[in-house]
Amino acid sequence: MAITSMKKLLLTLILACLCSFSIALSSALASHTADSVEVFEAIDEFLTSIPADYHRVGDTQALKDLMKRDNPLVIDVREPSEYADGHIPTAVNIPLRTISQNLNQIPKNRPVVLYCRSGYRTAMALTSLQLLGYDNVQSFTPSLAGWQAAGEPIEP
């Protein structure tokens, strides 16, 4: 069997195990009413404490203004190969899957702006960093696609 086929089989098995674990965990939480209430309350407290517009830089001009005014760290959360194909000038690459291993590169005392290709990975990274105590992180909601659509340059 080719290595690629082995990898696909292994990934399929891992995903199946994760799904089974997730179902078992959900059942376990549901059977412990007090635990479920605590989990719900913690999630509710987190979600309701989010300021209305804390999380986004809504357009290209706003990002350009922020970059001039506050010198944020702009982080591209896409994979290295995507970053190499082109990224917003001055952006650094910290792929989504490695965010928690690279917290030493993400300041808490300076604005941080995250982006990806379309916004999905950005949202996951933003939420993760918020849960880890970062209150200085925003997403660039137009993402790279919006940056390019606005005619802005990208760096290879």
* Boundaries of domain holding 8: 3-48
Mapped onto helix, strand or coil, the DSSP state of residue 55 is coil
Quick one: pLDDT band at residue 48, thresholds 50, 70, 90? confident
Q: Is residue 87 within 8 Å of residue 93, measured between CB atoms?
A: yes
Is the per-residue pLDDT at 143 higher than 80? yes
- Residue 1, pLDDT above cutoff 90: no
- 67 lies in a domain? yes
Model pTM score: 0.69
Q: What is the pLDDT of residue 57?
A: 86
Does residue 75 sit in the same domain as residue 125? yes
Residues 100, 33, single domain; the answer is: no
Structure token pair of residue 142: 């137009």
Q: What is the mean pLDDT of residues 134-142?
A: 92
Edge-first strand order for the sheet with 56-57 is: 56-57, 137-140, 112-115, 73-76, 92-93
* 156 belongs to a structural domain: no
Residue range 79-85: average pLDDT?
Answer: 97
Q: Identify the pLDDT of residue 107.
A: 97
- Pick 154 or 39 by higher pLDDT: 154
155 domain residue, yes or no: no
What does the block give as tokens for 52?
Answer: 């209305």
Q: Which of 63, 91, 114, 116 is catalytic?
A: 116
The domain spanning residue 143 has which CATH number? Answer: 3.40.250.10
pLDDT of residue 24: 47
pLDDT at residue 78 above 90? yes
Selected residue with higher pLDDT from 62 and 31: 62
Answer whether residue 103 is part of any domain: yes
Annotation says 17 is catalytic: no
Kindly indicate the confidence band of residue 22, based on its pLDDT and cuts at 50, 70 and 90. Answer: very low
Residue 127: other Cβ atoms inside 10 A: 15
